[in-house]
Structure 1
Amino acid sequence: MIELEGLTKRYGEKVAVNNLTFTVGPGIVTGFLGPNGAGKSTTMRMVLGLDRPTAGDVRIDGRRYDQLKDPLKYIGALLEAKAWHGGRSAYNHLLCLAQSNGIPTTRVREVLDTVGLAAVAKKKTKGFSMGMGQRLGIAAALLGDPRILMFDEPVNGLDPEGIHWIRTLMKSLAAQGRTVFVSSHLMSEMALTADHLVVIGQGRLLADTSMADFIERNSRSYVRIRSPQRERLLDVLHRAGITAVESGNGALEVDGGKAEHIGELAARHQLVLHELSPQQASLEEAFMRLTAESVEYHAHSDAPVPRQQWGDDWKRS
């Protein structure tokens, strides 16, 4: 379990993390979301003792990271994919970590097999691709067989097979009763992986809730209907006290309605329906709605593209 209590980090006048209090519990995958600059990486670094909090406290199974005798046996983390010496092989990188943390050397081969790097175990890591680097970082996180795992953008550089693998791995680790805390900007993947969400913006806690509750609270749900008997349908809905609005392409939308109720109403009046579908926003849409006022850097799609200064010289060459 990871427990944060009033965790705060200031860099001069800038408050990177502002009084965060939440708990990351075992048995589920907890997603950690926030716009760029929200303070996610700083928070994770403070969990691992890499940054000292200005105020507040963070505990790992009841103790600070610097109080853990064998830290890799308590918490494994992937924060930076290429945090190793490029002249070492994958095997020797993990071997150094194992020997310095009292972990049996047999574990090195086990985690290399787990992440799919056994065939390149003796190759120098400086030649590794980004995806291979991610796998090696995950192997290091798993090395101590820890009860808690923390991943920052674990799918970076992975191909579709690798993304499916890490998703399955995280779910499997949580199913074993471990604490799994993962930060990602890939909303479609987070929606498939996380059970619970912690969302921050400008260093402040915005949400700490289940995935389903987060989407329900921060999105619009409605029922979309299409019928060749559109005018009759509108009349029936109006008499039933149901407000429908046009949405284009001949479709109607009913906010907050139940598809079952509308379907039964149409059946009683012998109305033909070509579509009757409940709609709900995606995790990405719900996230964008909640964090709209917390985004530090705004891009504008209608802004002119700046002219490259070397353009005229290139034309004359």
Structure 2
Amino acid sequence: MIELEGLTKYYGDTLAVDHLTFTVLTGIVTGFLGPNGAGKSTTMRMMLDLDNPTEGTVRIDGKHYRQLDDPLTYVGALLDAKAVHGGRSAFNHLLCLAQSNGIPRARVGEVLDTVGLSSVAGKRSKGFSLGMSQRLGIAAALLGDPKILLFDEPVNGLDPEGIHWIRNLMKNLAAQGRTVFVSSHLMSEMALTAEHLIVIGQGRLIADTSMADFIHRNSRSYVRMRSPEQERLLDVLHGEGIEAVAVGNGSLEIDGVPAERLGGLAARHQLVLHELSPQQASLEEAFMRLTAGSVEYHAHDGEPVTARTGPPEPAQGGWGADWRKKGG
């Protein structure tokens, strides 16, 4: 379990992370989301004692990272896939890590096989593609068979097969009772992988909630109806006091009325329906709606314009204040 309490980071006069407090639970994949510059990478670096907080604390099962003996056997992390000595082979890079943490040499071959790099184990990492570097970084994170794993943008550079593999890997690690904390800009992947979400904006906590609850609270739900008898359908709906909006292609959108009631209504009036479908926004749509006020850069007519709008209105669990470029 990872616990953050009042975690704050200034770089000079710039506030990067603003009193973050949340807990990352074991046994599930927790997604870490926020716009560019929200403070995600800075937060993860402070979890690993790579940056010192200005205020507040991070504890991993009650200890600071620097207090852990043989830390790779406790916490595995991928923050920067290219942070590797380019002159070393994949095997030797992992071997150095293993020897410095008391991990058996045989484990190097095991993780190389797990990530699919056995065939290039003897090649220097400077010739690796981004996808291969990602796999090597994941191998390093898995090397000590740790209880806690942190991944920052783990699918960068991976092909579809690789994305499918890392998605299942993270789910399997969580199913084993491990803590899995992953930051990603790919909303479609987070929707398929994470069960819980931590969302920050401008350095502050925006949401700490389940995936399902996050989407439900921050998106519009409605029912789409389509009928060759649209005018009669509208008359029936209006007669019941139900508002419907025509959106083209003969479709109507209705808010706040269950699909079951609408289907029963159509049946009673012997109306032919070509579509009756409840619609729920995607994670991406919910994320965009919730974080709209904390986005650092907005584009207008193709030209980027820096927009500092100030803290948005509070939502589920607090708001944030990180608008610098390097916060994650």
TM-score, normalisation: structure 1: 0.94
* Matched residue type, 2:275: E
Match of residue 78 from structure 1 = 78
Q: Which moved more, 1:32-41 or 1:228-237?
A: 228-237
Match of residue 213 from structure 1 = 213
Deviations 1:238-290 (A, max 9, x none): 22222111112221110122111111111111110011111111111110100
Q: How many residues align?
A: 304
* 3-state SS, counterpart of residue 300 of structure 2: coil
Match of residue 262 from structure 2 = 262
**CA distance in structure 2 between the aligned counterparts of 1:238 and 1:26, rounded to whole angstroms:** 50
Q: How much has 1:65 moved relative to structure 2?
A: 0.3
Q: How much has 1:303 moved relative to structure 2?
A: 4.4
Match of residue 157 from structure 2 = 157
Residue 143, structure 1, aligned to residue 129, structure 2: no
Match of residue 19 from structure 1 = 19
Match of residue 65 from structure 2 = 65
Q: How does 1:98-117 map to 2 (within 5 A)?
A: 98-117=98-117
Change (3 A) 1:301 1:195: farther
Residue 288, structure 1, aligned to residue 301, structure 2: no
**CA distance in structure 1 between the aligned counterparts of 2:66 and 2:292, rounded to whole angstroms:** 37
Residue 173, structure 1, aligned to residue 173, structure 2: yes
* 3-state SS, counterpart of residue 80 of structure 1: coil
Q: Which moved more, 1:42-51 or 1:269-278?
A: 269-278
Q: How much has 1:301 moved relative to structure 2?
A: 3.4
**CA distance in structure 1 between the aligned counterparts of 2:200 and 2:109, rounded to whole angstroms:** 38
Deviations 1:21-74 (A, max 9, x none): 001101110000000000000000000000000000000111000110111111
Q: Which moved more, 1:43-52 or 1:225-234?
A: 225-234
Structure 2: runs of 5 or more not aligned:
305-328
Match of residue 250 from structure 1 = 250
* Matched residue type, 2:100: S
Q: CA RMSD in A?
A: 1.0
Match of residue 49 from structure 2 = 49
Q: How much has 1:302 moved relative to structure 2?
A: 5.0
Residue 185, structure 1, aligned to residue 178, structure 2: no
Deviations 1:63-95 (A, max 9, x none): 000110111111100000011111111011000
Q: Which moved more, 1:187-196 or 1:40-49?
A: 187-196
* Matched residue type, 1:126: K
Match of residue 312 from structure 2 = none
With a CA cutoff of 8 Å and minimum separation of 6, indicate the structure with the bigger relative contact order.
2
Q: Which structure has the larger Rg over C-alpha atoms?
A: 1
Structure 1: runs of 5 or more not aligned:
305-317
* 3-state SS, counterpart of residue 278 of structure 1: strand
* Matched residue type, 2:181: F
* Matched residue type, 1:63: K
* 3-state SS, counterpart of residue 69 of structure 2: coil
* Matched residue type, 1:137: G
Residue 130, structure 1, aligned to residue 130, structure 2: yes
Identity over aligned pairs, percent: 81
Residue 195, structure 1, aligned to residue 195, structure 2: yes
Match of residue 222 from structure 1 = 222
